Amino acid sequence: MRYLAPVTFAFILGLLAQALGDLPYRPRFGSPTANYWAVAAMAVLVPVLVVVMARMVPRTWLRRGGYIAAAVLALPCLLVSSCAITEAPGLSHEDAAYELLSEARAGRVAYRLYRTNCGATCAYGLDLREELDLPFGAKLVSPRWSLYRASEGIVKLEPSAVLVVRGDDVLAKVAR
């Protein structure tokens, strides 16, 4: 139990570093609502975990420094959390920005083709993602290919590549 707060804090910092870095896989939930609420919960947890870890420090001046750090972190973390909660769609809301068009499985990995829709100011696009499904609706997502101004296509697997096809036209051949 003593190591729960530091491990959780390190996990949240790792997710933040991963989101800011250009790593090939990104953790996501299948539900857009869950993604927003996960951000909100992690943002609130950061100053709370700093206080919990500060309470474990035996030296008074270090403990007070931890409390000050938690107070400094609290405002930006609460702002991030409130923005995420405010922007979160309803529980029954489907993600209109990503409409699943086609899926092909290769073992544990799914190659999913989505029609993207950013709203009234832009055209539809296609986005091919490599996704590894995890428990509790979570998944690791890696963008593989995209095309702006396209709205139809299907995914087909070859032994060494993934094809995005529209009719008889091959729009993309992506190495697996």
* Residue 22, in any domain of the structure: yes
For residue 4, what are the contacts with CB-CB under 8 A and spacing of at least 6? Answer: none
* Alpha-carbon torsion, ordered 86, 91, 97, 102, to 10 deg: 160
Q: What pLDDT shows up at residue 93?
A: 63
Domain that holds residue 75: 4-87
More confident residue, 58 or 103: 103
Q: At which of 87, 116, 131 does a domain end? A: 87
Q: At which of 68, 87, 106 does a domain end? A: 87
User: Residue 76: which pLDDT band, with cuts at 50, 70 and 90?
Assistant: very high
Q: What pLDDT shows up at residue 81?
A: 93
Query: pLDDT per residue over 89-126, tens digit each?
Result: 876 666 677 889 999 999 899 999 999 887 778 889 99
When divided into structural domains, the chain yields a total of 2
* Residue 93, in any domain of the structure: no
C-alpha 48/C-alpha 74 separation (Å) is 8
* Residue 109, in any domain of the structure: yes
